[in-house]
Structure 1
Amino acid sequence: MLRCARSLARAVVPFAAGALAAAALAAASPARAAGPAHIAASDRSAWPQPLNAPAAFDRASRAEILAFARQLALSETLDDATLRARLGLKQIDRPALERIRGRFWQRLAAGYRNALRTCSPPDAFCAPASDAAALRGLALRFEAAPEPAYAAWYADAARFHRVYLDEQLRLAALFPRVSSEIDTYSAIESDGSELGDRRFLLSFDDGPTPSGGNTDRLLRTLRELRLQGTFFVLGESLQRRSDDAARLYAGMCVASHGWQHQSHARWPQWQDSVSRSSALVAQRVGAGYVPLFRPPYGQRLADSGAFFRAQGLRVALWNIDSQDWNPKVSADAVGQRLLSLMLLWRSGTILFHDVHDKARQALPWLLQRTRGAGLEWVDCKRYPAAAG
């Protein structure tokens, strides 16, 4: 059982050098940027009810959607200079930013409509909103908790969603100059947002670890929990475990993350990295292989779709980042952040890293907190065919 992250409830987690910083590399490079100053942390103990039924999940989901939508609407009033200062950027790509905002509004509106289906008077957070414009108006009026029982949650959610929005807007403001998971380039790419309501896919990057390490421990936990995951492995790491790869990943899905953990946006050998690693996975894992590729840091070239199509691969991104790679984010905080984001987006691909031990600790807590909520963990063999 995870402990409540109350120490994180009133403050956000400082960013530390990790995946985003490594993706950024040198600030002098035009295709790089330093990571965000803060990472959003949530305190789920502030929510006053269990999430042990579909209606209970929907009530909490409507609340998270309204809290995030309010921050999104307020951000639209900021001029470029204010927004650059807030995000810590010297320049922003305004068209990309507006495109992502538009996608967010459409997805939030669809999620809110789905969450309204279980509303019955006098349930909370049940004001109707038929489209994005109506949801924006509703969010702007969401200035306080509707009842005293939700006051602690409202204060925590306002902090969480302000910082989480900045994480997303920062990626959007840099795209496509710095590619990332924030947007797709073509139909050959998927990020999990296409999954149907209440459906989630587990994914794990950067393994495998040496025998007996975090990958082995995580796989034992997944089997105990009767969960599946898609493991995006590095070719050079898999090569060291080729003899036991099929046994190690039995019952799971395995795909390529490249030969080495380098940004494919600026690596001349990226095509070789893709083909070599995919061929090795298919050879060593056998039936567990799935024809997906996840670019390190989510970085890839805008015109790479034709290559992946010719290789018979789909680019598999994500839309829910656990931040488990970040040394300043505890396993407790990983679980609580994920639960808030699952309530917010209502479906998607969750990003973990099996080279770290936090997923193994967070997942049992997450399943316990959502038992009875009507969620579906997607069969990895059916992704992305399971969309819709």
Structure 2
Amino acid sequence: MRIVFLLSAWLLSFGVMAAPGDMATLDRSTWPEQLSNPTLFDVASRAEILMFARVLLASESLDEPALAQRLGLRTINMESINRVRQRLWQRLLANYNFAQQSCDQDASFCFLVEDMPSLREQAGKFQVSEDSYYIRWAEPSRLFHSQYLDEQLRKAALFPQTSSEIDRFGDYERNGEAMHDRLFLLTFDSAANALPDNTAWVSEFLRKANMSGTFFVLGKDIQARLTERSVASLQSTYSAQCVGVQGWEFRSHSHWQDWQDSVRRSVELIKSKLPENYVPLFRPPDGQRRSDAEGFFKAQGLQVALWDIDAQDGAGKLKASQSAQRVLTLMLLWRHGVIDFNVKQDGVKTALPWLMTQTSQSGIGWEDCQSGFR
């Protein structure tokens, strides 16, 4: 059996960081095993959890000025950062507890973790030895999690002045944290660009796989489609899928004076044209929404639909293969959640099939879109 050894001298390597704005991705070929059964999914999951816990713990040694410099920000909201860190630790502990249930079948990356102090202790000691079967994965994974942590802490540092998916404003907002272990929900954003629109391709791919996803649409896009094709054609495109709204157009709903009208008009249009597909969900473009909107959304019967796992395929910074590998790595880390793809990037036609192939025997499940945010 392959053994992962513990070494303690690793603090210095944490200082090598990507510049602010770099998106984390990990070449999954550095991991030596296919996720060909649930036990091997757990092995890879334990490894990613411990690596992320290691860099998270090391980040706590930075004082506020040093952390601000690291994140490329002049000022940071430490209260928000600490709240997000605490939630991250809670998720890591819960996920490791799930992942270690198969340790009697494969003991790789299995250490004594019973509570938060023991998780932090193991994170502080975690290192992969030079003669380990997993050594090719270790440094690329460390770099990935360091970059990914910076992404999360940067969003936390700006919250709530700049809202994002990093935190919720109340129970009327949902992400994937409450989902069951090994369950994931596919969601697709529209984004600002009009073309290419891969909705028809993605929805057909999902139907053939007997799967469903939630498509968050822009009101103006649906209106434009209806000038070119019939309602029946539109309904056929979204057959067996769910449709939520992203507003009338893709712009921040945190400072837009007409944001309420944007949401209402979109809901009215989708409910009237796609009544079988409509779900009462609003996804804020770029995660930006107002902190005082609870009354409005409850009056409209809507929930704000956030996400946990971002493919980062809309910014043009990652290739399709990089987005797919990022998503898989985060699936191993978080073990459940809402995945966010951009349906208006051609990369989704490469990333989605690759992801299905890689996870087909891993023991994960894909949540039905009708129940995903409940």
| TM-score after normalising by structure 1 | 0.88
Q: 1:85 aligns with which of 54, 64, 69?
A: 69
1:112 aligns with 2:101: no
Identity %: 45
Cα distance in 2 for residues equivalent to 1:374 and 1:216: 28
Q: 1:53 aligns with which of 34, 37, 48?
A: 37
User: For structure 1, which segment, 192-201 or 224-233, has the greater mean C-alpha deviation from structure 2 after superposition?
Assistant: 224-233
Name the structure 2 match of 1:175.
159
Cα distance in 1 for residues equivalent to 2:31 and 2:18: 24
Shift of 1:211: 9.8
Cα distance in 2 for residues equivalent to 1:252 and 1:121: 38
Shift of 1:352: 0.6
* Structure 1 contact 13–39 (Cα < 8 Å) conserved: no
Q: Residues 123 and 188 (structure 1 numbering): CA distance in 2 closer, same or farther, change over 3 Å?
A: same
Pairwise mapping of residues 307-386 of structure 1 onto structure 2 (< 5 A)?
307-385=296-374
1:148 aligns with 2:132: yes
Pairwise mapping of residues 1-388 of structure 1 onto structure 2 (< 5 A)?
36-120=20-104, 123-145=107-129, 148-206=132-190, 213-242=197-226, 243=230, 244-385=233-374
| SS of the residue 1:380 aligns to | coil
Cα distance in 2 for residues equivalent to 1:162 and 1:346: 19
Q: Deviations over 1:245-274 (max 9, x none)?
A: 211101000011000111111001111111
Q: Residues 303 and 13 (structure 1 numbering): CA distance in 2 closer, same or farther, change over 3 Å?
A: same
Q: Residues 42 and 363 (structure 1 numbering): CA distance in 2 closer, same or farther, change over 3 Å?
A: same
Shift of 1:206: 1.1
| SS of the residue 2:275 aligns to | helix
Runs of 4+ in 1 over 3 A off after TM superposition: 12-15, 207-213
Q: Residues 207 and 175 (structure 1 numbering): CA distance in 2 closer, same or farther, change over 3 Å?
A: closer
* Structure 1 contact 207–232 (Cα < 8 Å) conserved: no
Q: Residues 209 and 144 (structure 1 numbering): CA distance in 2 closer, same or farther, change over 3 Å?
A: closer
| SS of the residue 1:202 aligns to | strand
Shift of 1:121: 6.5
Q: Deviations over 1:261-288 (max 9, x none)?
A: 1111100111111111011111111110
Q: Deviations over 1:32-56 (max 9, x none)?
A: xxxx421111011111111111110
Cα distance in 2 for residues equivalent to 1:122 and 1:300: 45
Q: What runs of 5+ residues in structure 1 fail to find an aligned partner?
A: 1-11, 16-35
Amino acid at match of 1:95: E
Amino acid at match of 2:296: F
| SS of the residue 1:381 aligns to | coil
* Structure 2 contact 195–344 (Cα < 8 Å) conserved: no
* Structure 2 contact 200–238 (Cα < 8 Å) conserved: no
Shift of 1:195: 0.7
Q: How many residues align?
A: 354
Amino acid at match of 1:252: Q
User: For structure 1, which segment, 110-119 or 355-364, has the greater mean C-alpha deviation from structure 2 after superposition?
Assistant: 355-364
Q: What runs of 5+ residues in structure 2 fail to find an aligned partner?
A: 1-15
* Structure 1 contact 208–237 (Cα < 8 Å) conserved: no
Cα distance in 2 for residues equivalent to 1:302 and 1:81: 27
Cα distance in 2 for residues equivalent to 1:53 and 1:95: 41
Q: Residues 212 and 99 (structure 1 numbering): CA distance in 2 closer, same or farther, change over 3 Å?
A: closer
Cα distance in 1 for residues equivalent to 2:197 and 2:301: 32
| TM-score after normalising by structure 2 | 0.91
Shift of 1:210: 7.1
Shift of 1:96: 0.3
